[in-house]
Structure 1
């Protein structure tokens, strides 16, 4: 009887350990995806970077505007010739569902113009695709005072 309980416990522990390793790997993947998107924004522009990592059902939330729903609608919502290349962001924290298929990052963003720097927070929901890549499902943010004050 004790052997039976031991085997059940061992199987439970092994499954839990494997799930934990998968979740940790997924967590590192979405943090990397978030940081890579920020780096890409300085190269090709903020909106173009989001578009390149957006899921087809992407939703973009913005201050004072209605949500933009769908990757195509988002692509049509901005002028590619004047896309902003001076915005960066850095994740502070992230979480991933136990399934390893959905997660979020949140952090601070900074937008520099010629004479002013703006600050804010953001949250991005990430969805893991069948090919293993992480795509933005929802992104939004708000303005804040300088966090270093």
Structure 2
């Protein structure tokens, strides 16, 4: 009888360990997708970078603005030829759902103009598509003082 309980415990432990490994791997994928999007923003612009990794149901939350709902609405909300290329961000951490299909990242952003640098925090919700690619579902943030003060 003890052997039966030991076997059940071993199977449960192995499954739990596998789930944690999958979550860790998924979080690494989200952090990489987030970091890659920031790098892309310096090349093609902030909004264009978000658009390139956005899910079709993407929601963009902005300071003092109503949410922009849907990838098409977001694409129509900005001038693609005059996009800002001086916004960067760095993910600090995140979390992945036990299912491995949904997660978030959060971190600090920085926006440089000719004479001023602005700072803030952000959170991005990510959804894993059937092809294994993580896409942004929701993105928003707020302004903060310089975090290094």
The answer to whether residue 140 in structure 2 is matched with residue 137 in structure 1 is no
Gaps of 5+ in 1: none
Name the SS of the counterpart of 1:137 in structure 2.
strand
Q: Per-residue CA shift, 1:88-147, capped at 9, x if unaligned?
A: 000111111111111100110000011111111100000000000000000001111111
Output the CA distance in 2 between the equivalents of 1:93 and 1:131. 24
Output the CA distance in 2 between the equivalents of 1:69 and 1:107. 22
Output the CA distance in 2 between the equivalents of 1:91 and 1:52. 18
Output the CA distance in 2 between the equivalents of 1:81 and 1:17. 48
Gaps of 5+ in 2: none
- Matching residue of 1:54: 54
Name the SS of the counterpart of 2:78 in structure 1.
coil
- Matching residue of 1:44: 44
Output the CA distance in 2 between the equivalents of 1:13 and 1:148. 42
- Matching residue of 1:147: 147
Alignment of 1:6-21 (within 5 A): 6-21=6-21
Q: How many residues end up aligned between the 2 structures?
A: 149
- Matching residue of 1:84: 84
Name the SS of the counterpart of 1:38 in structure 2.
helix
Cα distance, 1:66 vs structure 2: 0.2
Q: Which moved more, 1:90-99 or 1:57-66?
A: 90-99
**RMSD of the TM alignment (CA)?**
0.6
Output the CA distance in 1 between the equivalents of 2:80 and 2:116. 23
- Matching residue of 1:70: 70
Name the SS of the counterpart of 1:66 in structure 2.
coil
Q: Per-residue CA shift, 1:54-74, capped at 9, x if unaligned?
A: 000000000000000000000
TM-score (norm 2): 0.99
- Matching residue of 2:120: 120
